Structure 1
Amino acid sequence: MSTAPSHDRRLAELRAFLRSRRERLTPADVGLPDAGRRRTPGLRREEVAVLAGVGVSWYTWLEQGRDIKVSDDVLDAVVRALLLDEAERDHLYRLAGLNPPQRTAVPSAPVSPQMQGLLDAWAPRPGYIRDRHWNFTAVNDAARVVFGYGETDHNCLVSFFTNARYRAVHRHWDATAPAVVAGFRADAARYPDDPEFDRIAADLAEVSGEFAALWARHDAAEHTSAVKAVDHPDAGLLVFDATSLPLPEHPGHHLILHNPQPGTDAAERLARLMRAHPGGGTPTMS
């Protein structure tokens, strides 16, 4: 059973999400005639209601976050009207309290010897495990050397925005940042009763204006794979295919493995780098 604060948080998120999705569209995007200059950006609520085939009052109540009953069919009509993709559809369903089912938050679990063994065996390739809050629960030596993770790095999201070493070597940091924030918001929606997500986001927004601006966009997306390009000061360009693997025995935990991209010399460069850093310590990124 949801508590009142989590219920209010969900409805507040629903309000902001629907408004942000509506404001990003133009009449031309959805096949409506352009009626000239508008006082506010995006579609009007009345236009979304017409496109979805629902009453204007009902859609207004939905976007205002009122505690109303919604069905799968009607919510899907709103999804189509707002041109939401699959990840955004799932996010809207969670905010509306419908499918996909919300998972129950469980405590972060220590890394098992088997998982630690897998990380160690993955060397010299980088790998780590993060929990549902994106806290690191295990990081292998290669990840510390390649990405510059140090003893003060405890959370993947926080490190992305605050670790100057990591940012300096990440070739596509600016292009990647929106997807990183959208992924964290999508994960947060799975656990509406867990206040830790809000705490992490609020604390990070205090020290990173870039994160605060991206968080305010209310984008949500899910990613299981990515390409990471690292300009390492000692090894040069290293390009990795990164894959996120859920750990079913620990809900919310993911194993993140990085493999040198085929067709590049990243594997050879990585091998030389790791031979030069026995034991893993964090290299100097200056």
Structure 2
Amino acid sequence: MSHETPLGDFLRARREALKPHDVGLPEYGRRRVPGLRREEVALLAGVSSDYYIRLEQGRETRPSPQVVTAVALALRLDAEATDHLHRLCLDDTQRPRHHRADTVSAQLLQLMDGWANTPAFVVGPALDVLAANAMATALHSGFTRFDNLARMVFADPAGRDFYQEWDRAAHSCVAEIRAAYGFDPDSPRIAAVVEELSRASDDFARLWRLHEVKGKSQEGKHLRHPQVGDLHIAFSAFTVNGAPHQQLVVYQAEPASPTAVAFERLRAAVPVPGNAAAPARP
């Protein structure tokens, strides 16, 4: 019988991603397993090898917070991955309960509509686009559907042309869905998106197995629109009060920059709807 658990899968993937020299251990000869051995992680974490093996095999699912922190340090996890590991150790009674809604509040839609020169859209945990203003719709007009950011990156032919730093976009999408999964491992929508894209894209399936975790933050992007060309934008993501499962994503151009000029051309050249709306999803 398989005892695999989300916790065990995560520990195994992160252990296999490390080399002995990453954690200050000597490496002699040829190793039979990728990455660190379970015994080495146990040594670094200060727990018994048997206990750590039970964690990976799913036979121990309630480690203490102190043990989780020690294992995170042993695996050289950053703050986001450490928080993710702690969440994977929670049972259903310990997880925060949030109302899951695919609808975006009227106030937020009105706010986005007021940003005539700024692309803005709202995404859910599985990176479904729940609503978008006119500029965001125009910006993504080269895609077959502006409905799910991960599908657009991995399964739409336009993705590799639009995202000029495609590898970074791909890693980010998968890591963001993985982070959302940690908050709600039983989400049917996340499961459906992961299943669909794992079938459609070997790249997605490979990256999903890495168990990288990273939420949206503030960075730059290099995009290429089929009509207005290269765009160098800054973006920010904000959690929506009252709907913690939703994030508002805002793209900005440096004032008087070539990207700002391109945004003006985009507004004039691409037919767009007049109000922020939810894209159709199959």
The alignment's TM-score, normalised by the length of structure 2, stands at 0.88
Q: Are 2:184 and 1:191 aligned?
A: yes
Specify whether residues 111 and 69 from structure 1 end up closer, same or farther in structure 2 by C-alpha distance, changes over 3 A only: closer
The 5 Å alignment of 1:79-158 reads 79-97=72-90, 102-148=95-141, 152-158=145-151
2:258 counterpart residue number: 265
Residue 32 of structure 2: aligned partner: 39
Contact 1:148 1:166 (C-alpha < 8 Å) held by counterparts: no
Call closer, same or farther: CA 1:88–1:124 in 2, change over 3 Å: same
What corresponds to 2:280 in structure 1? none
Contact 1:130 1:137 survives alignment (8 Å): yes
Paired residue type of 2:36? L
Letter in 1 for 2:113: D
Q: TM-score scaled by structure 1?
A: 0.87
Counterpart of 1:226?
A: 219
- Give the Cα separation in 1 of the matches to 2:119 and 2:26: 52
1:134 aligns to what SS in structure 2?
A: coil
Structure 1 ranges of 4+ moved more than 6 A = none
Whole-angstrom distance in 2 between the partners of 1:68 and 1:114: 42
Contact 1:238 1:266 in 2 (8 A): yes
1:66 counterpart = 2:38: no
2:244 counterpart SS class: coil
Which consecutive unaligned segments of at least 5 residues does structure 1 have? 1-7, 282-286
Structure-2 separation of matches of 1:159 and 1:233: 15
Q: 1:195 to 1:276 in 2, by over 3 A?
A: closer
Note the alpha carbon deviations across 1:220-241, whole angstroms, 9 max, x for none. 1223123221122322211111
Partner of 2:277: none
User: Which residue of the other structure, out of 176, 182, 205, is the alignment partner of 1:212?
Assistant: 205
What's the CA shift for 1:105? 4.4
Are the equivalent residues in 2 in contact too, given 1:239–1:264 (CA < 8 A)?
no
| Paired amino acid for 2:70 | A
* Match 2:168 to one of 166, 175, 181: 175
Seq. identity, %: 35
Amino acid at match of 1:190: F
Aligned equivalents of 1:235, 1:149: Cα separation in 2: 11
2:243 — aligned with what?
Answer: 250
Tell me if structure 1 keeps the 8 A contact 2:14–2:210.
no
Q: Distance in 1 between matches of 2:196 and 2:237?
A: 25
Instruction: Give ranges in structure 2 of 5+ residues lacking alignment.
Output: 275-282
Between stretches 63-72 and 203-212, larger displacement belongs to: 63-72
Q: Select the residue among 198, 201, 211 that pairs with 2:194.
A: 201
- Give 1:60 deviation, angstroms: 0.8
Confirm or deny: 8 A CA contact 2:138 2:271 kept in the other structure.
Answer: no
Note the C-alpha offset of 1:133: 2.9
| C-alpha distance in 1 between matches for 2:152 and 2:96 | 26
Q: What CA RMSD, in Å, does the superposition of the two structures yield over aligned residues?
A: 2.3
Instruction: Confirm or deny: 8 A CA contact 1:108 1:132 kept in the other structure.
Output: no
1:277 maps to a residue whose letter is V
Range with greater deviation from structure 2 (183-192 or 267-276): 267-276
Question: What does the per-residue CA deviation read over 1:10-56, in whole Å, with 9 as the maximum and x for residues that have no partner?
Answer: x6221111111111112211111222211111111111111111111
**2:11 aligned residue (4, 18, 22):** 18
Where does 1:49-60 land on structure 2 (aligned, <5 Å)? 49-60=42-53
2:69 counterpart (58, 68, 76): 76
